[in-house]
Amino acid sequence: MGDSGGSVVSIDVERLGCQAQEHHIQTKHGPVSVAVYGDHDKHALITYPDVALNHMSCFQGLLFCPEAASLLLHNFCIYHISPPGHELGATPILPNSPVASVDELADQVAEVLDFFGLGSVMCLGVSAGAYILTLFATKYRERVLGLILVSPLCRTPSWTEWFYNKVMSNLLYYYGMCDVVKDCLLQRYFGKRVRGGSPVPESDIMQFLDQRQSMNIWRFIQTINQRHDLTESLKQLQCRTLIFVGENSQFHTEAVHMTAKLDKRYSALVEVQACGSVVTEEQPHAMLIPMEYFLMGYGLFRPSHVSSSPRSPLNPFCISPELLSPESMGVKLKPIKTRANLRV
């Protein structure tokens, strides 16, 4: 990747939702929907959301943060891949269609890249989506420049997660998107602070969940509940990896385990206080500065005319000095554990 500091991009966050170009691509493993934002001539950023979410419910908070939107859209054309049947306005997948495996979904990502003529890409995934993109990176190493993972999964489901997913699957199968399933999903996504009080982003997510096709969600849960362990494959990853995890995330131990298994020269862990799994929606400002320094290693910068938001819970002094070191901004990223200070 080269230096992207020459041009300036103006971000109108209120229009972001109207600027997507929706593509429906037929792959060997079924159709997939991709929403594309930005200039196709820029570097590609691939996103993949968590279970029952799509780009509007999983990455909207991050892209509606002006500084993050400026950083990402200044440097990337963003390709939002939806899990099968998770896109806006999706119709039910035919009952006799086979349920895709995690490997097939990873191969589907490669087919999306081929469709758009993309070479090496940056990847951003949340929980189940982070697993799919990590698997993609292990299978197609030459096609991944870097991974930004939010509350990622990397091992087979624990008995607790497996049982939890099985309960949701049965409820979805027999009762659809009922209140119990919504509550289970909200517990998966958010920390107690959001679930107990603030109506945003919980209320927005509730509206999105009401619009989902329950059997399509059932299929993705079936897929992710049968995932395999990536631990051994992580050791061969050569791309740099930045991991975010909320301290209250159900997948906190997964993120810590994954960081421990990655090459310590190329990985970093950022823990966000008082936050659940979907940091992109609950605390998107906490991602800004770590992402800035991570992308500096690729010669990518935020336009200088965009100032830091006074609402941001992070400033350079909240980040471990190791992340700010020249080594971390260049060839290598040191492993860190830093917390986002929520007190402004």
Q: What is the pLDDT of residues 17-69, one digit of tens each?
A: 447 899 999 999 999 999 999 999 999 999 999 999 999 999 999 999 999 99
pTM for this one?
A: 0.85
Is 249 domain-assigned?
yes
Is 51 domain-assigned?
yes
Average pLDDT over every residue of 141-152: 98
Exposed, middle or buried, 123 (CB in 10 Å: 0-12/13-18/19+)?
buried
Average pLDDT over every residue of 4-8: 42
Average pLDDT over every residue of 65-77: 94
Lowest mean pLDDT among 169-178, 230-239, 300-309: 300-309
- Looking at every residue in the chain, the average pLDDT score rounds to 85
Is the predicted pLDDT of residue 156 greater than 90, yes or no? yes
Q: What is the CATH number of the domain that holds 286?
A: 3.40.50.1820
Is 129 domain-assigned?
yes
Is 307 domain-assigned?
yes
Is 220 domain-assigned?
no
Is 173 domain-assigned?
no
pLDDT at 201: 55
Is 287 domain-assigned?
yes
The answer to whether residues 312 and 67 touch, using CB atoms and an 8 Å cutoff, is: yes
The amino acid at 116: F
277 vs 125: CA distance, rounded Å? 12
Is the predicted pLDDT of residue 176 greater than 80, yes or no? yes
Is the predicted pLDDT of residue 198 greater than 80, yes or no? no
CA 53 from chain centre, in angstroms, equals: 11
Task: Please tell me the total count of domains within the chain.
Answer: 1
**Inter-CA distances, 228 with 44, 147, 236, Å:** 27, 19, 17
Long-range contacts of 69-72 (CB under 8 A, 24+ apart): 69/11, 69/13, 69/16, 70/9, 70/11, 70/302, 70/303, 70/306, 71/288, 71/291, 71/292, 71/295, 71/302, 72/45
pLDDT at 134: 99
Q: Which residues contact 163 (CB under 8 A, 6 or more apart)?
A: none
Is 182 domain-assigned?
no
Q: Which domain holds residue 325?
A: 13-158+228-340
pLDDT grade for 327, boundaries at 50, 70 and 90: very low
